[in-house]
């Protein structure tokens, strides 16, 4: 969803605990759609010429979600409230924090039970793992084995995710410990999410890429 590949080394863009929940939520409830919507974070190594049309539509939906989010006016104010050393990572921090707020406010956006939704996603992903390239398989298996879609359901989880990401960035950085700024500006991050996410949902419906 919120693209962080620019800051990661070539082998570490397969982050399995960032914002996969949001991408799965905005996908269709089918194995191929979920595959395509997650494939956007694993383009390197993927042979798109061999993908089914439903997978490619899911991939286009992923790209729409990223573009819309990057351009939304809810994000720039978050950059201004972060400390100077962390402003360049606004996208990464908001990625992780927004998955936390999606879990917190799940009932505002879905009639589905969260646990049931996540378990259904896991069932669907298992069906298409044989179609994935090795890097994506590795990340998906980690997600399935560790209940990765719900890793950010607590501030502790958000902190652990951001700290892991700090070690995967290819240059020295101050991302480690950034959860303290999410906690300090909790209301601002929550407000940004609650502004952005309904708009994002509406954009996905209006574009109808996967209809």
**What average pLDDT score do residues 136-143 get?**
93
Rounded CA separation 94/190 (Å): 10
**Containing domain of residue 144, as a range?**
5-207
Name the average pLDDT for the chain. 90
Residue 10 has a pLDDT of 36
Residue 1 burial class via C-beta count within 10 angstroms: exposed 0-12, middle 13-18, buried 19 and up: buried
- Number of folded domains that form the chain: 1
Residue pLDDT, tens place only, 60-108: 999 999 999 999 999 999 999 999 999 999 999 998 999 999 999 999 9
- Indicate left, alpha or beta for 208 from its phi (over 0: left) and psi (-120 to 50: alpha): left
* pTM for the full predicted model: 0.90
Maximal C-alpha separation, the chain:
47
| Predicted confidence band of residue 18 (pLDDT cuts 50, 70, 90) | low
Residues 6+ positions from 174 with CB-CB distance below 8 Å: 83, 85, 86, 166
């Amino acid at each position: 969803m919120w693209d962080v590949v620019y800051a990661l080394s070539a082998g570490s863009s397969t982050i399995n605990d960032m914002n996969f929940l949001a991408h799965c939520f905005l996908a269709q409830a089918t194995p191929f759609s979920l595959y395509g919507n997650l494939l956007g974070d694993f383009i390197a190594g993927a042979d798109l010429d061999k993908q089914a049309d439903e997978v490619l539509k899911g991939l286009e939906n992923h790209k729409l979600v990223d573009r819309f989010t990057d351009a939304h006016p809810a994000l720039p104010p978050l950059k201004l409230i972060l400390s100077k050393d962390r402003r360049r990572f606004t996208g990464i921090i908001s990625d992780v924090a927004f998955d936390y707020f999606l879990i917190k406010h799940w009932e505002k956006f879905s009639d589905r039970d969260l646990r049931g939704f996540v378990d259904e996603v896991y069932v669907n992903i298992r069906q298409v793992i044989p179609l994935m390239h090795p890097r994506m398989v590795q990340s998906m298996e980690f997600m399935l084995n560790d209940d990765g879609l719900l890793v950010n359901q607590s501030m502790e989880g958000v902190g652990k995710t951001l700290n892991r990401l700090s070690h995967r960035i290819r240059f020295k950085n101050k991302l480690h410990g950034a959860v303290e700024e999410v906690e300090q500006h909790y209301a601002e991050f929550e407000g940004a999410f609650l502004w952005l996410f309904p708009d994002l949902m509406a954009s996905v419906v209006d574009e109808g890429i996967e209809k």
